[in-house]
Structure 1
């Protein structure tokens, strides 16, 4: 079989581009703020300023804000300046921090309102940042840019818990919440403008009056339907997140406690997953798979090894290794997926299509988490994990059967046409 990848030609590093570095810094700040909020609220439960029930209410409120804001933000980011949407979303999330501090230990309803606002800011940032990346970075360097962005997310996930726990020893929960607000302020103010003109920002040049938000979001759905590879990949991603991620969130802690008698396996597996994701991002930043869609979907399917490793009492090293493989695979999927979306989707509909991506994949993840615990209670851990593993393997395999899925492009019919357009410019 022919070699499935080719090294990228030399090009000017995206890390030397000041515009991208500003975007990278803002996106990193928003990612760290997004990750830190539930962790800091968990610390509030430990110090007694928030109950476990209150934590559940706040996390649900944040998810509600996220789901409500994502489709609206996608429309606004296509109508107007993507940079403007990032600004206002970040400022809204930053303003939620002092409200949350004011309610800490006093008013859960006030904190819930703040959590909705914070979730809305998070949800609005996601499609806007995705579309802004396509404006700031030229097509030849977007895969490298997306790899750099995901590397930042993984580094903060790996180092964040330790740093936050150390900070909590001297700062307290209120100060940490204000620190999250500061991160959102940085996310709002640091990124520079994109490349679109005012007319292009409206996304409606020559189309007459704009429709409602619902109508324009439906236009984004129609654009997504023009790309069969996108619909197939999104269905596979949603299935993997709803099953594989849920197995990690619910079954991994149970298996670690009941089968291995401690939390060591839980800690080792989650750390290995993040470390594997770092390796995967580094690999995909430097390689251009000839069949990038099939390679990405194979990486996504690798998450099936995670629930598979939990089905029987194997050596802990096997579980850790399975999660490392899953981490590598998820970035082999994520980076080409984002890059292909930025390349293939019509520029004036990119934010809406990206919002559909986030809405279905990550937005529906709580449903999987809510269902897997009752399923384990009804059918047992083994059968549920087997179903999760089978779904993780089968869904990407079925997506790969869609003809345009091989290269994540309707324009690519043979491998020979893939390499030049995959990012080998000067």
Structure 2
């Protein structure tokens, strides 16, 4: 483990006066920016635990998801001036030594522009750590570094309502287990639930699975009438089975429908037409998470057949999201980057949306225990409030 002569908190207190100048227009992007004074000196990888509060079961495609990541790989960047930034890595990073070869001796300003993001796709793997590092050096939360005077706040939904009625396999718990999980999430602060559907795609006979999907959603709506419901099919439906599902929940308002089938112009157009004709014009239509077909997505959003994009905040890339936001905003297409898997990604998305807005809601991934301090990043009044602390406002014990 690399030991620093100046920890994260001490560095921030030493740089507060200098970093205050970055609030002046253009300063953070100028040659004399504090980012130009810092050179990357070392890179390390660590594993962190960010477990979920309960076991998460199956969806229409995959088996039991388990209890959350306990050995999640993160990258930690250190500069020669004592600044540290860290975050979840993505894709092929190689060893820390190989990654260090790409960045050692480079100024932080050479690696990231606060106005747009990382300067080279070669650094996609450490897109998040570089954003955190820049925010730390500039003494700004990431949402403010991206230009917002105050964070855009939006709703947050629980993404943890899976097929927990089907397990354990030898004695299925039934719908009461799903309602129990909804109660936990409600008490935690969520007022939106994203409910996984598609049991008939793999785990139950088609007709029985569809009926169970309908029964679950109707039961949730009855038990939590003040909660907005989203449904996610994980590409486990056809247009016909999706319409059958909608007929079975005719009295349940839906906030959105996510990935009912792999995106095609014909299928989404037909489903949209059904929604409009049957009193669900305002139900949002979201896609783009799993193996996105970008030309199809762009075609669908031209006439708002699709009106929310979902690519993953890390897999797609924090910087890629930043660069496509102006066009999406002009087109009136909402965004809600996929965060499933780790509570860290929910924080990254909250900062991203905090900087740009244009999100109807974001995905909450709850964690309990573990070894990350989430600081001020929290749900308040059913909205996700990103931290006001520098970077993403997340701490590891050894960085405090």
Query: What TM-score do you get using the length of structure 1 for normalisation?
Result: 0.25
Higher helix share: 1
Structure number with greater CO (CA < 8 Å, separation at least 6) is 1
